[in-house]
Chain A
Amino acid sequence: MKGAGQSRGVIRTLREMASRPSGAIGLFLVLLHVFIAIASPWLVPFDFKAISASLILSPPDSTHWWGTDHLGRDVLTRTLLGGREAILVTLVATPLAVLWGGFVGIYLGLVGGKLDDVLMRVVDAFLALPWILKMLLLIATFGSGIEVLIPTLAVFYGIPVIRIARAAAHNVVARDFVLAARARGHGRLAIIRRELLPNVLDALMVEGAMRWSWMLLAFSSLSFLGFGVSPPTPDWGLMVADSRTFLAIAPWSGLYPIVALSSLIIGINLTADALAKTLGVDRAQKAPI
């Protein structure tokens, strides 16, 4: 007999996730990062813009615990602040992406037909273009402020969600209880809301977690290439890019942001994994976008 109650409350899900080692570590890392992202302006010891010609690339010591970068700025400060924009943007864009992509995907999964055929061709065509091309074209046109990045990321990353939601919906639509609902005469919207959504939600949530991690990757990669956040705003990607030339002699200027970014992404992945196992979702490993 299966474990009692599949519709657990949020608290119970979290608790069960935390009982797994991957879940515990993952949740801790994610929450830590989110906390720092929110609270860092009040925690940091220095001004992130403060340049100092005399302190260029100085190693970690008692004043600058994590050393300074090539412009004499405090690495600790900039690392703590470096995730703010990335986390803010992606944390808003991810639910938007999952929402719109999920709804379209579920609808297509239920309805099928010509609309489905046409739209999936368009989705395929869209996904055939490398993500960076699409992002850069938009940024080149409209700039890289968060008012551009959030909708762009939400739209672009919602499209793969359509595919996944559609596949999940297909699995559910084939089952008798959906047929039973149709036979009773329930309308399409009611069927989506009552029959499909609760059964697809789990897969969508796990997918949402993974989307978040890929969005962060994209965001940092863009900043790394110089197309994302503009200096002097601290950002991990940007910091890694800046530190590249000096990495051999001053590894701290690049390693700390690397650890910060990697720990967040690993944390999200571990959380997604634990979530998938707790909810019983079968996670197919897909390449990002």
Chain B
Amino acid sequence: MLRMILRRLMLGAITVGLVSLIIFAAVEALPGDACTALLKQDAQGQRLLNCRQELGLDRAAPLRYLDWASAALRGDLGFSAHSTKRISVLVADRLKNSLLLGITALAVGLPLAFIAGILAALRRDKWLDLVLSALAIGAMTIPEFVSATLLILVFSGWLGWLPGIVLTPADAPLSKFFPEIILPVAALAMVMTAHILRTVRSSMIEVLDSDYVRMATLKGVPYRTMVWRHVLPNALLPAINVVALTVAWLLGGVVVIEMVFNYPGLGRLMIGAISDRDLALVQAIALIVASVYVVVNLTADLLTLVANPRLRTAAGRRT
């Protein structure tokens, strides 16, 4: 089993490496570079050449990639051309904010999704299931910016209960973000809960229809015990992967929510960086987000390995 874990880790590292290559190549392909962004109108002639020489941009691409990659591994992501601050400092603040948002959304959404998904499956096709499934589909299909906008309209505009925009600055301590964080978390949690609910529900239904659950029933196992002991462990296993995907999405794909609520997270920083052509920053953010995605998926993979007896004893897998 150790071999399988190592293999997964290696694959994860390769993926991150590939990602960094793709990012670097993509950014290279774009017109302009850090110097044109820095000097803006003055970016021409000798000044441009000097700048390039100074920043080491006149060297060959593969060398620059290696420089960047090795620095990144050490935690040094370079300087932001736009604000001339160290990128690691800039990103650290935003990262912590995004993490706050993400983890709160998870803490709210996950339990909700699991409980609702399990209940919906146990009461399949009854009214509870129909209502929950309809709600889930609704939350999944309505675009995030729409649900976010509607939430602001209702809770901030009409009812005035909660602030609609986040005004707290990026480097403020986490506690200051409350109560502004409530609506963004709600918007995030809505979509996330819907996806996980659907997956949990269909996984539960599949297990409820299985031969071994039928056998447990015919063995005389009481209903509640059967659900706890035979159904849940088997049904929740596949959900791990969807949770992983969702967690990864939370960090990277919540850009829209951050824009709507003006939340000072990694997503908003990224949009700003692209608009400003601050390429070093874009590269850095992309690398971080992609790495988180890979790490989360890896964790899910490993968790599944540990939790699923069939995979654990892969050496003994036969018959």
Chain A contacts to B: CB under 8 angstroms: 121-122, 124-126, 128-133, 136-137, 140-141, 213, 217, 220-221, 224-225, 237, 240-241, 244, 247-248, 251, 254, 258, 261-262, 265-266, 269, 284-287, 289
Docked complex Cα distance between A253 and B144 (Å): 18
Q: Is B97 an interface residue (CB 8 A)?
A: no
- Decide if B143 touches A247 in the complex (CB within 8 Å): no
**In the complex, which of the residues A128, A244, A269, A287 contacts B242, with contact meaning CB atoms closer than 8 Å?**
A287
Contacts of A285 in B (CB 8 A): 195, 198-199, 202, 242
- Decide if B195 touches A129 in the complex (CB within 8 Å): no
Which of B16-24, B43-51, B83-91 interfaces with chain A? Answer: B16-24
Docked complex Cα distance between A213 and B141 (Å): 8
Q: Is B256 an interface residue (CB 8 A)?
A: yes
Cβ < 8 Å to A, chain B residues 106-143: 137-138, 140-143
Q: Is B26 an interface residue (CB 8 A)?
A: yes
Chain B 137-166, CB-CB to A under 8 Å as 1, else 0, gives 110111111100110110011100000000
- Nearest-neighbor residue (CB-CB) of A243 within chain B: B149
How many pairs, one residue from A and one from B, have CB atoms within 8 Å of each other in the complex? 133
Contacts of A130 in B (CB 8 A): 252-253, 255, 289
Interface size bucket, B side? 35 or more
30 A-B residue pairs with CB within 8 Å? A121-B11, A124-B18, A125-B16, A125-B22, A125-B290, A128-B19, A128-B293, A130-B253, A132-B267, A132-B271, A133-B274, A133-B285, A136-B274, A137-B26, A140-B30, A140-B277, A213-B141, A221-B143, A221-B144, A221-B256, A225-B271, A244-B152, A248-B156, A258-B149, A261-B146, A262-B146, A265-B142, A285-B242, A287-B249, A289-B253
**In the complex, which of the residues A131, A221, A258, A266 contacts B150, with contact meaning CB atoms closer than 8 Å?**
A258
Given A133-B270, A265-B142, A287-B249: A126 and B153 within 8 A (CB)?
A: no
- Decide if B141 touches A137 in the complex (CB within 8 Å): no
- Decide if A258 touches B293 in the complex (CB within 8 Å): no
- Decide if B138 touches A266 in the complex (CB within 8 Å): yes
- Decide if B149 touches A132 in the complex (CB within 8 Å): no
- Decide if A124 touches B145 in the complex (CB within 8 Å): no
Contacts of B249 in A (CB 8 A): 287
- Decide if B141 touches A269 in the complex (CB within 8 Å): yes
Docked complex Cα distance between A125 and B25 (Å): 13
Contacts of B253 in A (CB 8 A): 130-132, 289
- Nearest-neighbor residue (CB-CB) of A251 within chain B: B153
- Nearest-neighbor residue (CB-CB) of B160 within chain A: A248
Docked complex Cα distance between A250 and B55 (Å): 51
- Decide if B290 touches A129 in the complex (CB within 8 Å): yes
Min CB gap B101→A, angstroms: 15
Chain B 252-287, CB-CB to A under 8 Å as 1, else 0, gives 110110011000000100110011010000100110
Chain B 178-208, CB-CB to A under 8 Å as 1, else 0, gives 0000000000000000010011001000000
- Decide if A137 touches B145 in the complex (CB within 8 Å): no
Q: Is B15 an interface residue (CB 8 A)?
A: yes
Min CB gap B272→A, angstroms: 11
Contacts of B286 in A (CB 8 A): 129, 133
Docked complex Cα distance between A266 and B22 (Å): 35
Q: Is the interface of A mostly helix, strand, loop or mixed?
A: helix
Given A137-B274, A224-B256, A287-B245: A128 and B141 within 8 A (CB)?
A: no
- Decide if B153 touches A248 in the complex (CB within 8 Å): yes
Docked complex Cα distance between A251 and B249 (Å): 30
- Decide if B145 touches A247 in the complex (CB within 8 Å): no
Cβ < 8 Å to A, chain B residues 27-60: 27, 29-31
Contacts of A126 in B (CB 8 A): 22
Q: Is B14 an interface residue (CB 8 A)?
A: yes
Chain B 57-88, CB-CB to A under 8 Å as 1, else 0, gives 00000000000000000000000000000000
Contacts of B246 in A (CB 8 A): 287
Contacts of A132 in B (CB 8 A): 252-253, 255-256, 267, 270-271
Contacts of B21 in A (CB 8 A): 125
**In the complex, which of the residues A125, A220, A284 contacts B143, with contact meaning CB atoms closer than 8 Å?**
A220
Q: Is B95 an interface residue (CB 8 A)?
A: no
Min CB gap A210→B, angstroms: 10
Contacts of B242 in A (CB 8 A): 285, 287
Docked complex Cα distance between A221 and B152 (Å): 17
- Decide if B294 touches A128 in the complex (CB within 8 Å): yes
Contacts of B285 in A (CB 8 A): 133
Top 8 nearest A-B pairs (CB, nearest first) are A248-B157, A130-B252, A125-B18, A128-B290, A285-B198, A128-B293, A125-B19, A224-B145
Given A129-B23, A133-B286, A140-B277: A258 and B195 within 8 A (CB)?
A: no
